[in-house]
Amino acid sequence: MAGSTKSANAAPALLDRELEDLPQALRWREWMRRIEAVLFSASAPMTRETLAQLVGREAIVDLLIEDIAADISDRPYEIRRTGGGWQMVTRKPYADIIAALHARPETKRALTQGESLILAAVAYMQPITRAAISQMTGREISRETMARLHQAGLIARGPRSPDPGAPYTYVTTQAFLEHYGFESLRDLPDLEALMDAGLLVSPDLPGVDLGVAAMPIAPEKG
């Protein structure tokens, strides 16, 4: 019997995971479809554990994903590894197409250049206070701007700073990594390498249009 569509997190008690009655090739195919279906419908990355609940005990999720990836290699979407697991996303060139369709940028408002600049400052210098970001970016960052980024889940509260008044610092979140398609903060472009390559003057960095380019790297002196 076919199982009804269930949320991936529900106990898979009613789900036939092993599919013993199918020949090996068909079982594999079915497992791939299950994973693809779940990834297709999910709005957040799916972890290996979640996906493993859908398939037989000896099935290797990584290999299934690889096979799916190969299947959809010519489609305008792909399966991307992000911090928490896998997520189905449209391929980069089609992002603009989709954006063009929805005359408004997106339901989630796109980040302004200023906000991207703040995020870059936080990403590289975290934990960092609002005052320190203002100093780094050379413009006064308002409380409201930080609150907006906080509300969007892109930054979180870090330890307090020992500066007078013990202001909060900010750190980036998992959502920040997902937003930019990073697996971890190590994927941030190496600023020194970019400078060495003379890329920091160029306004659009490959992969990251964070506005990093405009960011002063370190105070010139003192």
Partner 1 sequence: MRAPVLHTPLKPIAPLPAWARQGPISELRLGALLAHVQPAACGGAPSGVWRQRLAMRAALAHLRLEGRSEDEPTLRDHWYLRREGDDPGPAGNILKAWRSELTIDPERLAQLLALPREGVADLLDRADEAGSTRGTPYDPAIALAFQAQAKGRDWRGFSMWLADRVMARRLGWPGAVSILALNLPRNAFRVSAYEDFYAAALPALIHGTLEAVVLYDDLVRRGEKLALGAQKMRSKDTRATIYKLLSEDAVMAEAGAQTSDRAARRMLTGLADLGLIRELSGRASFRLWGI
Q: Work out the burial of residue 21: count CB atoms within 10 Å of its CB; fewer than 13 is exposed, 13-18 middle, 19 or more buried.
A: exposed
Cα 98 off chain centre by: 18
Whichever of 12 and 84 has its CB closer to partner 1, that residue is 84
Single out the residue of 109, 105, 129 nearest to residue 118, CA to CA: 129
- DSSP assignment of 136-187 equals HHTSPPPHHHHHHHHHTTSEEEEEEPSSTT--EEEEE-HHHHHHHT-SSGGG
CB of 62 to partner 1, least distance (A): 8
The residue type found at 103 is: A
Whichever of 22 and 158 has its CB closer to partner 1, that residue is 158
The residue type found at 44 is: A
Whichever of 75 and 160 has its CB closer to partner 1, that residue is 160
Q: Which residues bind partner 1 (CB under 8 A)?
A: 47-48, 126-127, 156-162, 164, 166, 169, 171, 173, 183-186, 190
Whichever of 140 and 183 has its CB closer to partner 1, that residue is 183
CB of 46 to partner 1, least distance (A): 12
CB of 136 to partner 1, least distance (A): 16
CB of 126 to partner 1, least distance (A): 5
Whichever of 90 and 126 has its CB closer to partner 1, that residue is 126
Whichever of 26 and 166 has its CB closer to partner 1, that residue is 166
CB of 184 to partner 1, least distance (A): 4
List, edge to edge, every strand of the sheet that includes 168-172: 128-129, 168-172, 155-160
Quote the tokens at residue 19. Answer: 């599919």
CB of 163 to partner 1, least distance (A): 9
Single out the residue of 132, 172, 126, 181 nearest to residue 149, CA to CA: 172
CA 64-37-154 angle, 5° bins:
95
